[in-house]
Amino acid sequence: MTASTRELFQAFRALEKTGRMDCPYKSTSQMGAELKKSEAVLHGAGWRIDRNVKKVRGSRKHTFIRRGCVLPAGQERGQK
């Protein structure tokens, strides 16, 4: 998955509004700082994060890959 920090923050806020989780972050910048500090923990949990992979209209995109992630039938890596 490739997303900006803002897109991730918006997804967390949407999950919070539906009652599925509590978003512990108050802003995009706070989430970005915590994400950077937590990279070692995420790596230990099976995630690989490539920060600033590309820029789209001034927004930096990051890639998040989960080891052992099974994609839905008919979907290939890189497709939405």
20-72 pLDDT, tens digit per residue, is 888 888 998 898 888 888 888 888 888 888 877 677 777 778 888 887 765 55
- Residue 17 within a domain: yes
- Residue 15 within a domain: yes
- Residue 19 within a domain: yes
- Residue 76 within a domain: no
Q: Looking at residue 80, what is its pLDDT?
A: 46
Contacts of 15 (CB under 8 A, 6+ apart): 21, 23
- Residue 55 within a domain: yes
Containing structural domain, residue 62:
2-66
What is the distance in angstroms between the CA of the first residue and the CA of the last residue of the chain?
8
Which residues are registered as beta bridge partners of 60? 55
| Number of domains present in the structure of the chain | 1
Q: Looking at residue 30, what is its pLDDT?
A: 92
Q: What is the dihedral of CA 67, 61, 29, 42, to 10 degrees?
A: 10
Residue that is written with structure tokens 């923050």 in the block: 9
- Residue 71 within a domain: no
Sheet-wide strand order for 59-66: 2-3, 59-66, 47-56
- Residue 74 within a domain: no
Res 74 pLDDT > 60: no
